[in-house]
């Protein structure tokens, strides 16, 4: 099940995203926790609800380039060279006395974008709560609940993205009422709240026969499915990721078994951010053409030098015709994950789920199953079966390496090394550079 956008999906993209700017765009706001836009009234139509769902999915893609630069640069997966902004090689890498700024684009932009998406999802929830479409028979009560569960699932994903950046600085989960914001929760409380939100949503998705009351592109199936029970599998995949971050291995195991995990399935099967060249749509802003200069994303040299001989995943780092250098840093390799500016970006896919089940089984002491999952990944990469030690620590070391190569550039390396207290093992390219643990809370965020 590859993530290619077929003709059906392309039509959906054009129809969906053409509506975004015209019908359901929420005006940008300076403070993401104090929205000033008006919600849909007391009787939203199905068309208006569809527009809100479409707009919410579109908003999920905003400022992803900054998010991936943040986690990729600090995680020493990539270099981000910019002729116009030195902060990618100074502040993000902790050069000299440089520190992370709480009032600059690399935190304020992705942070604000995530909370705008959460705001959009709250508007969708209000519209579904207030609509009279159930009473007049346009949609069923089960569909209404499934639509609200869809919005809560998106909110959980966006909140986790915020927490991934802020880590021990926590996350504000309750932002429904801009005049009465909830507290900033600490990391553990934040993870608990995000998982609870996913579980609450899944209760209205799992084993339900209803369709969502709108079309969605957030589906691991091709063509996209509207079935609540299929969307539940995406919800459970996200729940497994959160549970692993919580080190709640039993919960992660259960969630994975209820997700779209398939040990024999296509590794690329998954849920993606979609792009197109339609007039009101977005392009993949993580993509840069190979051998660019000035504005580039380069693979960190260690990705190539640390690889196992023959690893097919090295194709994600393409050798340049000439090395690129800036600020005492040099790489001979371009980031080569996305081939065009409309390639989809994975939100979560089967390859990650297989690596998650490997980690869960290793942590639970189910060695044979852990090794089987590791071997599925290794053999797909052309490097053969795992032959190392099978104690828990050895298996986790192997899994982290496979995650590094399988999920390269997808936003995981920094998070993985941090959750195993291994940030000190990330390479330091210049004397005095730092590997940051977390970003500061944005300066304009109410305390």
Residues 143-172, mean pLDDT to the nearest whole number: 98
| pLDDT category of residue 301 using cuts at 50, 70 and 90 | very high
CA separation for the pair 338, 81 (Å, rounded): 18
CATH number of this structure's domain 7-280, picked from the four choices 3.40.50.2000, 2.60.40.10, 1.10.3720.10, 1.25.40.390: 1.25.40.390
pTM across the whole model? 0.92
**pLDDT given at position 3:** 52
Q: Tens digits of per-residue pLDDT, 373-401?
A: 999 999 999 999 999 999 999 999 999 99
| Nearest alpha-carbon partner for 245 in 169, 188, 186 | 188
Q: Between the CA of residue 202 and those of 131, 145, 229, 297, 334, what are the distances in Å?
A: 22, 10, 9, 37, 40
Domains of the chain, residue spans: 7-280
pLDDT at 33 over 90: no
Count other C-beta atoms under 10 Å from residue 149's C-beta.
Answer: 27
DSSP string, 323-366: EEEETTEEEEEEE-S-SSTT--EEEEEHHHHHHHHHHHHHHHT-
């Amino acid at each position: 099940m590859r993530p290619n956008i077929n003709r059906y999906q392309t039509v959906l993209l054009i129809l969906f995203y053409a509506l975004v700017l015209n019908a359901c765009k929420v005006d940008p706001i300076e403070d993401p926790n104090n929205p000033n836009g008006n919600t849909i009234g007391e009787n939203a139509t199905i068309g208006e609800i569809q527009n809100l769902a479409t707009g919410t999915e579109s908003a999920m893609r905003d400022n992803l380039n900054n998010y991936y630069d943040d986690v990729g640069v600090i995680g020493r997966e990539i270099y981000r060279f910019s002729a116009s902004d030195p902060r990618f090689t100074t502040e993000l890498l902790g050069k000299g006395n440089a520190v992370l700024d709480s009032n600059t684009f690399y935190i304020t932009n992705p942070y604000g974008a995530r909370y705008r998406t959460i705001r959009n999802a709250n508007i969708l929830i209000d519209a579904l709560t207030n609509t009279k479409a159930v009473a007049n028979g346009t949609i069923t009560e089960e569909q209404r609940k499934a639509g609200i569960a869809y919005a809560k699932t998106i909110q959980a994903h966006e909140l986790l993205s915020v927490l991934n950046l802020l880590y021990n600085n926590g996350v504000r989960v309750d932002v429904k009422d801009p005049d009465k914001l909830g507290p900033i929760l600490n990391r553990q409380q934040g993870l608990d709240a995000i998982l609870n939100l996913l579980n609450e949503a899944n209760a209205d998705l799992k084993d339900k026969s209803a369709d969502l009351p709108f079309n969605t592109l957030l589906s691991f199936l091709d063509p996209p499915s509207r079935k609540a029970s299929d969307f539940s599998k995406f919800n459970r995949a996200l729940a497994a990721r959160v549970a692993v971050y919580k080190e709640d291995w039993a919960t992660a195991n259960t969630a994975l078994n209820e997700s779209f995990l398939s040990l024999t399935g296509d590794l690329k099967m998954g849920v993606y951010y979609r792009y197109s060249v339609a007039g009101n749509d977005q392009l993949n802003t993580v993509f840069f053409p190979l051998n660019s200069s000035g504005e580039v994303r380069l693979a960190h040299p260690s990705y190539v030098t640390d690889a196992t001989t023959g690893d097919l995943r090295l194709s994600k780092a393409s050798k340049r015709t000439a090395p690129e250098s800036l600020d005492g840093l040099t790489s001979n390799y371009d980031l080569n994950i996305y081939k065009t500016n409309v390639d989809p970006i994975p939100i979560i896919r089967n390859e990650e789920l297989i690596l998650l089940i490997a980690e869960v089984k290793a942590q639970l002491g189910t060695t044979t199953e852990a090794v089987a999952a590791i071997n599925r990944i290794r053999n797909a990469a052309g490097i053969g079966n795992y032959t190392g030690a099978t104690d828990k620590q050895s298996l986790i070391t192997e899994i982290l390496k496979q995650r590094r190569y399988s999920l390269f550039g997808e936003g995981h390396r920094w998070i993985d090394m941090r959750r195993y207290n291994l940030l000190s093992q990330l390479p330091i390219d210049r004397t005095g550079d730092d590997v940051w643990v977390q970003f500061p809370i944005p300066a304009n965020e109410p305390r």
